[in-house]
A and B are shown apart, each in its own frame.
Chain A
Amino acid sequence: MIWLVFALLTGAAVLSVLWPLARPAPKAREDAADVAFYRDQIAEIDAEFERGGLDREQAEAAKALAGRRLLAVAPEEAAAGSSPKARRIAAGLALVAIPALGLGLYQKIGHPDLPDMPLEARMKAPPAQQDFAAVVARMEAHIKAHPDDARALELMAPVYLRMGRFDDAVNARKKIIELRGETPQNLVDYAEALAYAGDGAITPDAEAQLQRALKLDPKNPGARFYLGLGAAQNGDKDKARKIWSELLPDLQGDAAAQQEVKAKLALLDAPAEPGAAQGAPPSGQAAAIASAAPEAQQKMIRTMVERLAQRLAAQGGGVDEWLRLIRAYKVLNEPEKAQNSYDQALKALAGDTGSREKLVASAKDMGLRTP
């Protein structure tokens, strides 16, 4: 449909050039305007004389002047018809250049496949066809109108987490507790939201919520898991190990959760790597790697590193991501790739002096060739 409209528009544009080329040539003389001008002038002088604005002598003198200028108009013939060759070239140009330019340029900057998205239509579309933002907006409007609808809040809280709107998630969880009272699950969810809002750290506030959940349900696995994480973050490895080891047997029947906890335990024993899993909330990938056999482990790590390398090469990234890549290659014992990545990073971060300095300093520590 849209291509039909495009075709019609292109046709109209081309026709507007072809049409005058096909018609008989207009025959206007180049000097006609000047001749008409002086004739008008003489007529105007006569009219002014009739009105009494001029006396006879003035009018005659002015008319004589205009008459002389009229005679002096440089004669210039009308333009000739036109040579068939010029017409053919012009027509060809219009036929080729207009669609080529229009479509060529549009191809580069346009989005023919994107439909219009008027707000009202987005909001009114049947739920299945609604885009995510519209659903969120509708839910938020609903919550604004019904601030006590705990069910809506429970739907939205995880959505907020997924959208990175952690503060909104915290507020939603807090409101749910106000509305529904303190249950272990509510408290753990609240603590989780607080942890996300605090960049993954189990803050004292979050820990307080977890302790309350534990008071209500001493066996609550979620609360115990996060309390263990909090202990690990505080450097209390023994406490973390104790909490998590006791948690493991209670997770019978939930393989994924078990693996997650095992991974955490494994990481406790692994040499500390700055900024890695310890501080961040549990990640499924880290858990999967930790639980794999050593050989498979190596392979998985390699794939991850390659993926990171590809992403950085394609989209660029911050200095920390580049350093992670370089360090990974060093750990994997591939000094050539490490050096290559370092050179790439230098280029990618060319405009950012601060990052470059950090990069060069770290590279020196790792024994890479630096300029």
Chain B
Amino acid sequence: MIVEVGHYALALALALSLMQAVLPFWGARTHDARLMAVARPAAMTQFAFVALSYAALTYAHVVSDFSLVNVVENSASAKPLIYKISGVWGNHEGSMMLWVLILAACGAAMAAFSRAIPPRLLADALSVQGVLGAAFLAFILLTSNPFARMVPAPIDGHDLNPILQDPGLAIHPPLLYLGYVGFSIVFSLAAAALIGGRLDAAFARFIRPWTLAAWCFLTLGIAMGSYWAYYTLGWGGFWFWDPVENASLMPWLAGTALLHSAAVMEKREALKVWTIFLAIVTFSLSLLGTFLVRSGVLTSVHSFASDPTRGLFILAILVMFIGGALFLFMLRASSLKQGGLFAPISRESALVVNNLLLTAACAAVLVGTLYPLALESINGDKISVGAPFFNLTFGPLFAPLLLLAPLGQLLAWKRGDLLAAAQRLFVAAGLGLAAMAVFAALHGAPVMSVVGSGLAVYLIVGAFVEIVGRIFPSGFGAAKNAVFRARGLPLSAWGTAFAHAGLGLSMLGIAASGWGVEKIVAMKQGDVYDVGPYQIEVVGVMNKPGPNYQSTIAYMSVKQDGHVVALLAPSKRFFSTRRMGTAQAGIVTLNLGQIYVSIAEPNPNGAIDARLYWKPLVSLIWIGALVMAFGGLLSLSDRRLRVGVARRAVKTQIAAQAAE
């Protein structure tokens, strides 16, 4: 009964989402407060029903109810409990359920925590959220129903794809979806502002927490996905410019731009229309990502199953929302009130440059992702756009961004002094150059790694220059009241510093990958290999059964100067249900770098092919992402209103105001 109750709850959620779409919208048009008030309870009940349905599906997976096609195809009775729970979203239908669950949760959260939002804006936003919910619920119920039954029920299932039987599955998709779908709130609010034709001064403040939260989740989700690919694919790469990865990078780039332009809007009332545009673009790119991954256009570990009707349905959703929102933007954008003037050299301008670079980088990724697909669909040619393309396009756009980030932090609002700001960066630049010299002496070529690491150090140091300047306004000598001033600084300032520094840390980790050491060997027990500054000794090889797989484990010890510093146990697993193998890399972190070993099946002569890597500073890539998200969290926890006060030239400011 639980299963069918969950199924019915999903159908009811669809009906409710349609009510949520229609009634508040009608109320907002006729200024009817009661009709608008329907939005809040409808959003919350819709969430309750979707959650009930999701719980029912999880129940079916946990108790191995093989009368559900979805459970048969993606589960097995011997699968460990954690993968029975996370396996719910480890397939097409279930992952769409997770998507809708988070969408409904976002709608309910907006309904619960947005008391300050003007009623008409909220009604329209929740109405848009209702349309989104209806579209995806209909998609699930009509083309991807996880509650489809199978009678007579088989006695066991086909098991989950072994690559997905990993703790990464429990973490990566929920984080990523919270990021993707979190931007739906921003999208709905932007669409509502366009529908209502009224752009409140407080708009940026309304979208700030949602943008920040979604951005933090997306950052963590992408980092987690990258780390998962790194340790599971067995050759130590952490980013492949794979279309599915690009699909998550694009909303991140657009979302980062949105974060910055929303800051300008909140503090200075400038870039209003641009912010609205970015809000639409960011979620549109999330939808595009969903389309690319879920439609079967791409084949990858993410796409599970391809079915043309699903692809068409998602394409229709995509066209409806992106097209509809952009059309609305075209109609209404010109009527929105622009505000806030600023000089060419100012914090605002720096953020405009940031936005232009980010959106251009995003466009480069978009082209690199879609062009091969378009080409293939037109003349059937399969071309691969890989790292060389992105290094040539994305790289040159992102590098100046890193250079400018600390500078932008130091420019004053409205009008700034470029020279003064640059002077304050002397220390950061000096340390960056010093880092280059040190890294060049220690590791040498490649040049890109040396330049990249110097840039990264400059960015990390530069991120804190502004804060340090505010804590010690008259030099380090006057340390009096420094602690008081540090605590008085808004958390958002700390957040900016940490987020920028996190980006620098990730950069440093990426740059250092050029100094890695790689060895491919056929190893036997007792062999010793030199890998970077360490020696790896093969202690023994063993076979061991797991709950639903057989594994071959190679035990190794890592030595430095004759002392054992770490143990490694890379393994190869074989899953009999799917007749598939997976590699579990052996990884150990030493001095921020990692020793990474992955093994293949044993050869007939008993030797095992293995790849051994030493990757200096590689863990910084993900530590950097954690620091970035921490920065976002700091900023998120700062509920104060943000004011950007012009600091100089009061006389000209009055002239500028007269012009407003």
Contacts and interface: CB of A to CB of B under 8 A. Distances in A.
A214 interface: no
Contact of A30 (B18, B32, B198): B198
B264 to A, nearest CB: 15
Given A23-B37, A31-B118, A116-B3, A44 B27 contact: no
B202 A33 contact: yes
B351 interface: no
Interface of B: 1-5, 7-9, 11-12, 14-16, 18-19, 22-23, 26-27, 30-38, 40-42, 44-45, 49, 60, 63-67, 77, 116-121, 141, 145, 147-149, 151-156, 198, 200-202, 205-206, 269, 470, 485, 488, 640-643, 645-647, 650, 653-654, 657
Nearest to A66: B643
Contacts of B269: 69
B274 to A, nearest CB: 19
B7 A106 contact: yes
Contacts of B77: 119
Contacts of A99: 15
Contacts of A93: 19, 22-23
9 contacts: A23-B34, A30-B120, A58-B650, A79-B120, A82-B33, A109-B141, A112-B4, A112-B8, A115-B1
Given A93-B19, A102-B11, A105-B141, A26 B32 contact: no
Interface in A174-212: none
A53 B557 CA distance: 56
Contacts of A314: none
B34 A119 contact: no
A13 B19 CA distance: 10
Interface in A105-124: 105-106, 109-112, 114-122
Interface string A1-37: 1100110011011001101110101111111111011
B650 to A, nearest CB: 5
A32 B206 CA distance: 13
A82 B34 contact: yes
Given A90-B38, A137-B156, A102 B12 contact: yes
A1 B1 contact: yes
A257 B654 CA distance: 111
A19 B18 contact: no
Nearest to B34: A82
Contacts of A25: 33-34, 37
A160 to B, nearest CB: 14
A336 interface: no
A138 to B, nearest CB: 9
B93 to A, nearest CB: 13
A87 interface: yes
Contact of A17 (B3, B42, B470): B42
A233 interface: no
Contacts of A288: none
B559 to A, nearest CB: 45
A321 interface: no
A17 B38 contact: yes
B18 A97 contact: yes
A9 B38 CA distance: 18
A158 to B, nearest CB: 19
Contacts of A21: 34-35, 37-38
A17 B646 CA distance: 48
B31 A80 contact: yes
A98 to B, nearest CB: 5
Given A61-B654, A81-B33, 16 more contacts: A10-B12, A13-B12, A21-B34, A21-B37, A30-B121, A53-B488, A79-B32, A80-B31, A80-B33, A83-B32, A86-B26, A87-B35, A94-B19, A109-B7, A117-B65, A120-B63
Contacts of A231: none
B152 A2 contact: no
Contact of B1 (A5, A48, A53, A82): A5
Interface stretch (A126-134, A218-226, A354-362): A126-134
Contacts of A111: 4, 149
Contacts of B2: 116
B19 A20 contact: no
A136 B155 contact: yes
A26 B115 CA distance: 12
A52 B474 CA distance: 14
B346 to A, nearest CB: 15
Contact of A26 (B4, B14, B37): B37
Contacts of B11: 101-103, 105-106, 109-110
A-B pairs with the 6 shortest C-beta distances? A118-B63, A25-B33, A16-B45, A101-B15, A37-B202, A137-B155
Interface string A42-58: 01110010011110011
Contact of B153 (A33, A40, A82, A122): A122
Given A17-B23, A58-B646, A98 B16 contact: yes
B119 A65 contact: no
A131 B152 contact: yes
A246 to B, nearest CB: 44
A158 B449 CA distance: 69
A151 B625 CA distance: 63
A105 B154 CA distance: 27
A13 B34 contact: no
A247 B234 CA distance: 67
A98 B643 contact: no
Contacts of A98: 12, 15-16, 19
A105 B33 contact: no
Which of A12, A31, A102 is most buried by chain B, counting CB atoms within 10 A of its CB?
A102
Contacts of B60: 116
B34 A81 contact: yes
